[in-house]
């Protein structure tokens, strides 16, 4: 099984800064995290919970764009 580079425990800002190609995935899930102050301290898991998003699907989609 391939190891995921992005996990639900990662900080949102860390993901966006390291993998800017993930920005459209946040948009796909209607997450305005890019300019949100919470992006500096919330995790991928936190934001998925707040938005009622399945974290596994979200993380899978984030990883898909960085591996393609």
User: For residue 1, what pLDDT is reported?
Assistant: 42
Which of left, alpha, beta for 6 (phi over 0: left; psi -120 to 50: alpha)? beta
Q: Taking the chain (68 residues) in consecutive chunks of 10 residues, what is each chunk's mean pLDDT?
A: 80 94 93 80 93 95 89
Asked if residues 9 and 44 have their Cβ atoms less than 8 Å apart, the reply is yes
Residues ≥6 apart with Cβ < 8 Å to 43? 8, 9, 10, 11, 12
User: For residue 19, what pLDDT is reported?
Assistant: 95
Q: What is the pTM of this model?
A: 0.88
């Amino acid at each position: 099984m391939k190891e995921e580079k992005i996990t639900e425990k990662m900080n949102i800002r860390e993901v966006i800064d390291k993998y800017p190609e993930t920005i459209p995935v946040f948009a796909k899930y209607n997450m305005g995290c890019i300019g949100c102050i919470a992006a500096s301290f919330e995790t991928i898991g936190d934001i998925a919970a707040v938005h009622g998003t399945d974290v596994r699907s979200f993380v899978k989609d984030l990883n898909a764009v960085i591996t393609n």
